[in-house]
Structure 1
Amino acid sequence: MFRNSGIIPLPRPLERRVNTLAQSFMRQRLGSQMDFSTPEGEPALLPPNSVSWRIFKNPVALFIGGVTAVLLELAEPRVRDAIWQHSTFRSHALRRLQRTGLAALVTVYGPRTKAKAMIEGVVRMHGRVSGRTSEGEPYHATDPELLDWVQATAEFGFMEAYHTYVHRLHFFERDAMFAEARPVALRYGAVGAPMSQAELYALFDVMRQRLVASPIVSEFLEIMEDAPSLPGVARPLQRPLLKAAVEILPHWVRKRLEFGDRWTLKPWERAFVKTTAAICDSIVLPSSPAVQSCRRLGLSESYLYRRH
């Protein structure tokens, strides 16, 4: 199934510097130094040969896909206000992003007991989130329709980011990712989340009239531009990554959310993003959650980077 490019070996001094940069990136993105290499032998919720393990190892696809997912979530008024009225995104954007990034990685790579405990905590938190949108519509974070949308936007974002900027995914790989995510979606309460690419397209059609432009969407992107999401040396990449996230939205969504040319990648920016993503997909970094998790399961550190 895997068609990854070959591993890029680095000279030892350069490998140490790149790994140090990666550790800095993970600290800023996750706010945690969680050790994914323990407890030894404990499996994750998803198997190592899953499509998700391959996609989530790439920090560029993870960043872009996460932003795309949030943009789609904020386009739905009930999800938008559930996020904006009940979180610290405005005042502590980086901390919120760190928690979200860590949750995604723990769900995919974390030892099963820790992943289950984390998901149970998220579900309890959702139980306390309810209210009315600015348009007066009631919402509750445990509404299966909203949970299905959030699950679908996450799967679409990460999958499309990897497909567009790293390696193309065949339709059967996309369907495999939906299928393997099903048990996790059920744990979150997303009982009707898409189980295939066709079901995802059908859900987009159902939600088409629900998605609307909002000043909050623009505010989110402005916050993301200013938040120190990347370490200093990588900061120039931050705006192109945000543009890349906007570009993989379906065309009709971009039009409905009123994104103009300001959020269109220039040719050199697109090349920059794709080159950076390709490099990240070919360098084995001992500090990454993916590599740590391979060690936990007794697999080679290069397991996810080999041609399969």
Structure 2
Amino acid sequence: MRSPARILVTGATGAVGSAVQRALDAAGYETYGVSRRGGTGERQYAWRIGREAVPDALRGPWTAAVHCAADTRWNLPTERAAEANIAPLRALLSAVGPETHFIHLSSSYVTGLEGTFASPSPDAYRNSYEWSKAAAERLLRSERESADIVRFPIVIGARSDGRLDRYSGFFWLPSALCSGAVPALVGDEKALLDMVSTDDVADHIVRTVAGGPPPGHRLSVLGRGDLAQRVDEVFDTILDSLNSWRAEAGVARLDHLPFVTPDQWNRFYLPFAEQYLDRAQLQRVTAFRAYQGYLSVTEPFAVTDRVADTAPVLHDSIRRWAETHSASARRVPRPWGA
């Protein structure tokens, strides 16, 4: 490894990228973070990768590049998902050069509905985000002879206190529970909902950088695997965390919502109820459909790096969400009715 080691981290203001850059800084590396708007810390730069030329301060050589940047929205048209998650990877590969240890952060859900990332068809995936991340992995493997690919499932906060720099994605759930956005939990209550802490990802990246580039394509899959919490256990943890915070804030407890299988919901309940729902309720249940597949995964991920128990981390992460989004966390759900 060259000295000094210069590390480029993309998506450095996101939940994962920010944790990765802090961990690399703490390990003694000279890290440079980039994001679309740039950050406020030292060596933080704005760069819209693939749309703008490389800023002078970010020209190589680089010891390693850690590509954390991604648009995780699940409802983008495939063209926009490609612009968000495939085009920047292609541009970054050209910018950093073949001598750079390239570390690409991906998703455990990249194997879609067929258990493989090989299919180019959007129909093989739950949504355009999964499709674009699978295409990104195929691009990386075709463009570089050596690279690390790191997959992980749902990301929650730091192990010490549940902290996240940005709350998005999964944190629609506590918000929905507090607002009454959904009348039932649509999924398989015995399915597995795997999670990792930002620390789990960041620590793995530090070890990966320290170990140097692999001789070929090296895949790491982080998670709990068959030890992941079941969906009903996840909801219990979330509800316990929210209700402990709400009790301290003098707000009424949240009740458990009933579980309904996707088949029951889509074939029976929703067609009957749609005619009675107002516009806002229809928008909520339509948006909620995107999450049904993630609450119905019964086969565990084949992890290569099993992380420690995440149930306590989830509890702390939900409390931190409530503290930082207190107006949302204080809401009293309105019952659904015709």
> Is this a same-fold pair by TM over 0.5?
no
Structure (1 or 2) with the larger CA radius of gyration:
2
TM-score, length-scaled by structure 2: 0.27
**Structure 1 or 2: more strand by fraction:** 2
**Structure 1 or 2: more helix by fraction:** 1
TM-score, length-scaled by structure 1: 0.29
